[in-house]
Structure formats: C-alpha cells, structure tokens
Structure 1
Amino acid sequence: MNEHDPPVTRAWVLHPDIKSDRDRRDADMALSEAVSLALALPDLAVVGQTVVPLPKPHPGMLFGSGKIDELKALMKANEVELVLIDGPVTPVQQRNLEKAWGVKLLDRTGLILEIFSDRAATREGVLQVEMAHLSYQRTRLVRAWTHLERQRGGLGFVGGPGETQIEADRRAIDEQLVRLRRQLEKVVKTRELHRKARAKVPYPIIALVGYTNAGKSTLFNRLTGAEVMAKDMLFATLDPTMRSVRLPTGADVILSDTVGFISDLPTELVAAFRATLEEVLAADVIVHVRDISHPETEAQAADVRTILGSLGVTDETPQIELWNKVDQLDPDEAEAMQTRAGRETGIFAVSALTGFGLDDFLTDVTRLLGEEKREEQLVLPYAAGKQRAWLFDKGLVEAEQQGEEGYVLTLKWSASDRARFETI
C-alpha cells in the first residue's frame, strides 16, 4: 500500500434473518446484496460476512446475549472496525452494540446514506443527501454529540442556557434542514427552468430505470458513447445523466440514466431522491432494465415497479422491459429467454455489454415515440438532385432557398423519413 493511500476500514457484514418476519427475503441473497453495497464504498475492506438466524429482534440489543458474545469474539479475532447490519437498527440498539463490541456500526439506511454521500455529484444531489443524512442523524441523538460532530464534520452546535446537549443538537439540525430546504428549492427552480428550456428542444426523453447493478449505465454508454461510470457496483449512478443521442433508427432522443433502485430503500430516502428521479416522470418512454441472470430478478423487478408507482408513474407512459445480461446465461437458457421475451410485446432479451438484441429494442422505442414530425433545416449540394427530388416527391419540403453551398431546405419529417433519406 502506498503511504498516501487512505486507510482501509475492516468491515464485517451481518444479515439478521428474522424468523418472525414472514416477508423476509432469502437470507443468502440478502447477505450477498449487502456485501455488494458495502463494496460500493471506497476504503472499505469486507473481511467477513454472516447470516444471523434470529427468532425475533431483541428490543435493546437486537441479538441475544449469547450471540452478542459469540460475534464479539469473531470481531476481535478479525480486527473488525466497522459492523454493517443489513436491516434497521434502533438508536438504542446501535449504541448498545457499539459499546458491547467496541466497533462503529452502520445499519442499512446508514450504509446507503454513506454511499449516496460518496457518489452525489450535482448540487441538488449533494443537498438531498445532506438533508437525508441530517434527518437520519436527528433520530440517533441518544448517542454522544461528539460522535455526531465527528461523523458529519461538525455543525457548530452551541447550546443555549439550560438546554441539554441533545436539545441543542436537535435544534441545530432543524435549523440546518430549513437552510438546506431553501437552497434545494432554489436549485430545483433552476432545474425546472433547464427542463423547460429542454422541453423546447423537440426531442422525446427516454428514461432508463432498474434495480441497482442491472446494467443501465453500460446500456447508456453503448447508446451514447458517454463515459458514465459503469462498474459492476451497486449505486454506480446517483445523479441523472442526460445525453441527446440519435438512435440507429434515425430518431433523435434524450437519454436519461437514473439511480438504481433497491429493495427496502427507506421511504425517507425515496423522498430525498424524488427530484433526482423526476426525470422519470417527464419521460416519453420508460425502459426498465433487468438483470435477467440474477436469481432474484423477479423480486427486483417488483421492487422497481413499486418505487415507480410511489413516484406517481402511471400506465399511460409507455414502458419497455429489457432482459439484460443474457450473455451471462448458458446458451440453452439464453435461447429460452429470447423465446419467452419474443412472445411478449415490449420485452426484449439483450446484452448491453455485447450489443446483442439492441436493434429490435431500438426499433420498438422509435415505434413507441410515434411518427412525430419535426422541422429541420438541411443544406443539400446543388449536385444532389436525386435526394432533392425524393424530398419533394414525399412532400417533406416546407420551404426552399438557394444558398452559397447549395439548396437550403426547411423540412418537416419524421425519424423514419430521415432514416430512409439517408439510404438514398
């Protein structure tokens, strides 16, 4: 390790498998996802992972005393500095477990917030993360205020006469939240102006949505040539990335890559990221990218649909499902998946990595966008008599002038008209 490298924190991931929870997920799958979440944070080394079977949560400690001693020995033997618990942990449980084990502890919400903090790039994203972080910390004020100050860089907490430290902290957080809300309102207004300006560009918006790590950014990069971070990592994208792109079918569109959804995303985080996901509400077509090779692909798809519903997305917006990562299936399975997808309207088995199956998908996107005619100017060299005759023959020319370099044509045509014209 280079002496300038930041120190690596040794972390252990625990998934409490609560038997009394009838809706609980497959424990091994949940643990695997939690480890992927942890790996999305830089400077974190996951040195171990454990599923902890639990009849029901213990109110004060989450786990029973025997299990706490057993895990303590495990933490000590592996020099663990941070425990990540895949699930909700109350402030009291967190304080007690940190004391018992002598380590720092983050629950699922805390971990997701850390990832959001690490990834948020736009001004709006940063403000949203900070607000979600403060709201979360406000519920944790049973803990020592110094811990809070150390964890979030300090907010300059000063208590008035007769105030307890917790009351002072709470008041400081509330004041900071009010300030952040005002800043966010200004940023959102600015973005609203940008969105209105973009609405004047007569390009439809295609929003890519999907469970985190489904391959949205890989697809976005393939279609736009943009270097959006596309790693096999959860939450690789946090701020919507917009690019205008001409599809191979000739249609000009704006492509929007959004943050990945995840199961059990706390409602306060969905609220905090509502504006980040607003692009989805403005979309003309929603493309739901699924990792079809994932054992829990059906459950993941259900989570995405639930979050889309909570955002106010209705059936009126056309949706396409992309069964991505067929390249990771064995050939027989991939063929069966293609056959299944072929029987359904609006479903395509593809590989964003290799480009397999994308042509049919893009043709369908263009069909869904309709044959909307757009006005454009085109300069044709005087020698291009054949092309000019074709345009007049099809009734696409609105006006014509003679310029220095050729005919200046004002055309009203559709994407498919243009695509046909380019083959002449």
Structure 2
Amino acid sequence: MVSRVLSRAGTAVDPQTDEHSSHDGDQYDLEDRRALRRVAGLSTELEDVTEVEYRQLRLERVVLAGLWTSGTATDAENSMRELAALAETAGSEVLDGVMQRRQKPDPGTFLGAGKADELRAIVAATEADTVICDGELSPSQRRGLEDIIKVKVIDRVALILDIFAQHAKSREGKAQVELAQLEYLLPRLRGWGDSMSRQAGGRVAGGAGIGSRGPGETKIELDRRRIRTRMAKLRREISGMKPARETMRSSRHRNAIPSVAIVGYTNAGKSSLLNYLTGAGVLVENALFATLDPTVRHALTPEGRSYTFTDTVGFVRHLPHQLVEAFRSTLEEAAEADVLLHVVDVSHPDPEGQLAAVRDVLADVDTSEIPEIVALNKADIADPFVVERLRQREKHAVVVSARTGHGLEELREVIAGLLPQPNVDIDVLLPFSRGDLVSRIHDHGDILELSHVAEGTRVHAKVRSDLAGDLVDFAV
C-alpha cells in the first residue's frame, strides 16, 4: 500500500503534466514562486541561532504516518496520497510511510507503541529529518512521538499552515495566515531547560533594581503573553481591512453587477477555468493551495450583460478550523455571490469526497440558498463512467475541461441562465446629460427598444429592481 501511495498514481498533482495553456498568460508570479523553492544539501540541524534564517531553504526529508480508523482501505490510501501531495507542495521529499489499522489514535503517541518503534527504524534507515502524521496531533501526542523517534514531528494542520505561509502574497492574506499559525502554536509551546525556570530579579535581570525583584514570569509565560498580544493586533488589522472589501462588494451590488464565486477543492482547476473564461492571467500551478488571495474579474453573458467572477481559496479535507476562522472574510465572497460555480476534479480517485468536503466548509457561511453549478473539470483525463455518474447525480452539472476548452460555452450559458434576470419593465426618457444611466441599462438590462429624440434618449427595457428605482424619475 505504501508503495502505491508513494508512486503518486491517481493523485491530484502529477509533475509530468503540462499545466499551462495559452489562456493562462505569462505567469510571472509562478517564476517568482519557484525561485524560492527549497534546495537540497543544507543541514537540518541548527548549530547557531544565526542560522535560523536559512531553515526555509532546506529540502526536508519526510516519512509519512497515517491511521486507518474508519472507511475503506481506498479512503485511507487517498488520504495518504493527499498528504504526500501536500508535503511535496511544501517543498519536501517523501521517502517512506507507514499505515496502521486501529479503532482510534493512541492518546500518548498517536500510533501504537510497536508501530512507533517501527517508525523510528524507518526514520533511521532513510535518514529522514521529519515525520508528518495524517491527522491533528495533541501537544502530548506530538511530544510522546518525538521522544521515541528523535526527529521533528508535525501534523497535517501544521503542514497546511506552512503551505499557506509560503503562498500568501497580499497584506490581508499574510495577516490571516499568521493569525492561524499563532492560534495553532499557542497551546503547543514547549519549554526546554532554562525556559522553564523563573526569571531572576535584581542585578541578574539587567540591573532593573528596586521594584523588579520577585518571582517574575517564566520565559514560556512571556512567550504566551507576546503571542496573545500579537494575535489581538492581527485581529484588529484584519477587522480594519474588512471595510475595504465590503466597500468594493457593495459598489458592485449598487451598480447591479451580479457575481459568480468559483469554489472547489484545492487543485481542482479553479484558476485555470477563470483564465479560460475571462483571460484573467492569474497564477496557475499544478500544486495544492496555489491560490490564496481572491481575484475578481469581469465577464459578459452571451447576451452582453456584465457580471463578475471571484476566484477563492481552495478547500481540503480536515481544513484546520484556525484557517476557516482566519479566512472568513474571504469565504464571505462566496456567501455574497449570486451563483456558486463549484469546480470538481473528476479525474481524482474520490470526487464525491471532495464535493462533500467543500460543502461542509461552505455550510459555515450559509450558502444554502445560492444556486450552485457543478463544473466537472478535467473530463478529458477522467473515467467516463465517473463523469456520467456525477452528471446524473448533480442538478446543474456541466462537463468541462479547462485545458481543452470542452464544454465551456455550455457553462457560460448555464451561468447566464442562473444569474438574476432583469424583470422590471421600464419606459424612460433620459436627457443626453445622463449617458451614465443609458450605459448601465446597456450593461445590466435587456434593451427592447431604443431611439433618440429631441429631448433625449427613449429606452424601453427590462432591468433589475435596484436599477429601476434609479430610473423612476425619468418614466414616460
């Protein structure tokens, strides 16, 4: 089983695949990202604190550890494959892995005692420097496992947070990721040696003298207080950024511009689809969590009405709750949309599981009343039986391929059919000085008749109710 997982067969990330088309633009951001990839050959042990700035450059050699607690063996394999893909996206080299069948994780070491000893032997044989567990470890489980295998142990949550930290570019995205990392770190702070001792008063404390003597705080308590202070500051900063996003969103609503939010599992092809539909030229990478910062682009229906596409962050099974909270402002883009375009990778071994994982996250921001289109992407490399099974199951399903362009014209028509339709009949005479209103009717309404007379522009059209309210003073 481990050999099948490490062979990467059936994973979402295939390094042999040519991932770009002519619709993706120049992809300059991708060159910048790959220029920062970690490199092999650097030490993984710090000999001096000044080396800490070079840690991000090392290529970590990792061994995977997973538990099969429920579901089928195929489900367990898919989860391990995804963990391998996450590790490679973070810049690591996956060397080996172990899988244990048990009813629930061991409270002390996550794995059982025998499997932990086996893992220690594998780590020694492969000269790995990190073990990644497929699950969320409690602080005590992490310490217990590290004490046995004698190398660094991280869990799935820490791995996803590391990928987000590498890929965030905007000020808001960086603040959201840092907040999530600190929330994860706070209960896992660990002291060694002097960090567990009391601070000294008087001369040892830097000559502070009278008033400074006393038991003081331990260094780990100081670290916790500093982290809480930093978290409070980040929350204020993120709250301060929210009005700007709401202003842009309200401006689009005020101008009666419908919106379509693209959601889906990570690496399902959301950004590629956006590039094909709008020529956005946003970054496309055959890796998990390539997109973190939402992108808004303009598009037109076949009838010429304007609307917007919003590319959102991808989801994954067991998405850390810290990230769901930190990226709530980003998820609100989906909650405020008129239509959800749910992109699914039908070439993946478990597309139904991906659909369920995304809908679980979206339930937190209440998108149940928003029409949903399921775009069955990568159909050119998928099993036709799987494609047909999903097409029959989902109400608004369209079979597409962002690589070849198959089905995208049909997708445009389905989107146009679900967007809010102009339903208020108006007959107005607009003075020539109000060309802005004529333009809005062109962009967001269906013009039935238009003529120019001496007094201005006579327009008979169907528009949405908010635009009809702005035109009521010019009714004939």
For the superposition of Structure 1 and Structure 2, which TM-score range results when normalised by the shorter chain?
0.7 to 0.9
Distance 1:24 1:109 in 2: 22
- 2:104 aligns with 56
- 1:30 aligns with 79
- 2:12 aligns with none
The answer for unaligned runs of 5 or more in structure 2 is: 1-38, 43-55, 196-205, 207-211, 424-435, 441-445, 464-476
The answer for unaligned runs of 5 or more in structure 1 is: 148-157, 379-390, 403-407, 416-424
- Mean alpha-carbon deviation: is it higher for 171-180 or for 188-197? 188-197
On the 8 A contact 2:374/2:394 being kept in 1, the answer is: no
Q: 2:89 aligns with which of 36, 40, 51?
A: 40
1:319 correspondence with 2:366: no
Residue identity in the other structure for 1:83:
V
On the 8 A contact 1:117/1:129 being kept in 2, the answer is: yes
Distance 2:66 2:391 in 1: 35
- 2:231 aligns with 177
1:72 correspondence with 2:120: yes
Distance 1:179 1:145 in 2: 30
Residue identity in the other structure for 2:82:
E
TM-score by length of 2: 0.72
Displacement after TM superposition at 1:249 (Å): 4.7
Q: Deviations over 1:111-130 (max 9, x none)?
A: 11111111122211111111
- 2:470 aligns with none
Displacement after TM superposition at 1:166 (Å): 2.6
- 2:263 aligns with 209
1:233 correspondence with 2:256: no
- 2:347 aligns with 293
Displacement after TM superposition at 1:14 (Å): 1.6
Q: Deviations over 1:144-172 (max 9, x none)?
A: 4999xxxxxxxxxx999521223222211
1:11 correspondence with 2:53: no
- 1:422 aligns with none
On the 8 A contact 2:63/2:128 being kept in 1, the answer is: yes
After TM superposition, list the pairs within 5 Å mapping 1:94-243 onto structure 2. 94-144=142-192, 161-243=215-297
Q: Deviations over 1:326-377 (max 9, x none)?
A: 11125x537x72x973796421111122111111121111111143389544
On the 8 A contact 1:223/1:247 being kept in 2, the answer is: no
Distance 2:393 2:77 in 1: 33
SS at match of 1:232: coil
Displacement after TM superposition at 1:314 (Å): 2.2
On the 8 A contact 2:346/2:377 being kept in 1, the answer is: yes
Distance 2:64 2:129 in 1: 11
Distance 2:439 2:457 in 1: 6
On the 8 A contact 2:61/2:95 being kept in 1, the answer is: yes
On the 8 A contact 1:12/1:82 being kept in 2, the answer is: yes
On the 8 A contact 1:342/1:348 being kept in 2, the answer is: no
Distance 1:401 1:177 in 2: 64
Displacement after TM superposition at 1:91 (Å): 0.8
Distance 1:3 1:396 in 2: 71
- 1:81 aligns with 129
Distance 2:143 2:243 in 1: 40
On the 8 A contact 1:349/1:357 being kept in 2, the answer is: yes
Displacement after TM superposition at 1:296 (Å): 1.1
Displacement after TM superposition at 1:211 (Å): 1.3
Displacement after TM superposition at 1:97 (Å): 1.8
User: In the superposition, relative to structure 1, how do residues 100 and 254 fare at CA in structure 2: closer, same or farther (>3 Å)?
Assistant: same
User: In the superposition, relative to structure 1, how do residues 370 and 188 fare at CA in structure 2: closer, same or farther (>3 Å)?
Assistant: closer
1:351 correspondence with 2:401: yes
SS at match of 1:34: helix
Residue identity in the other structure for 2:163:
I
Residue identity in the other structure for 1:352:
A
User: In the superposition, relative to structure 1, how do residues 311 and 247 fare at CA in structure 2: closer, same or farther (>3 Å)?
Assistant: same
Distance 1:343 1:265 in 2: 25
On the 8 A contact 1:351/1:357 being kept in 2, the answer is: yes
On the 8 A contact 2:450/2:457 being kept in 1, the answer is: no
SS at match of 2:329: coil
Distance 1:25 1:272 in 2: 32
User: In the superposition, relative to structure 1, how do residues 120 and 413 fare at CA in structure 2: closer, same or farther (>3 Å)?
Assistant: farther
Q: Which runs of 4+ in 1 moved over 6 A?
A: 1-5, 22-25, 408-412
Q: 2:416 aligns with which of 366, 382, 393?
A: 366
SS at match of 1:84: strand
- 1:396 aligns with 450
Residue identity in the other structure for 2:400:
V
SS at match of 2:57: coil
SS at match of 2:298: strand
User: In the superposition, relative to structure 1, how do residues 340 and 238 fare at CA in structure 2: closer, same or farther (>3 Å)?
Assistant: closer
On the 8 A contact 2:108/2:144 being kept in 1, the answer is: yes
On the 8 A contact 1:124/1:188 being kept in 2, the answer is: no
Displacement after TM superposition at 1:295 (Å): 2.2
After TM superposition, list the pairs within 5 Å mapping 1:228-267 onto structure 2. 228-267=282-321
- 1:154 aligns with none
User: In the superposition, relative to structure 1, how do residues 145 and 125 fare at CA in structure 2: closer, same or farther (>3 Å)?
Assistant: farther
Determine which structure has greater relative contact order: mean sequence separation of CA pairs < 8 Å that are 6+ residues apart, divided by chain length. 2
- 1:333 aligns with 385
On the 8 A contact 1:35/1:49 being kept in 2, the answer is: no
Distance 1:98 1:210 in 2: 35
Aligned CA-pair RMSD:
3.3
On the 8 A contact 2:168/2:292 being kept in 1, the answer is: yes
On the 8 A contact 1:47/1:78 being kept in 2, the answer is: yes
- Mean alpha-carbon deviation: is it higher for 284-293 or for 6-15? 6-15
SS at match of 1:395: strand
TM-score by length of 1: 0.80
Aligned residues: 379
Residue identity in the other structure for 1:87:
G
Percent identity reads 38
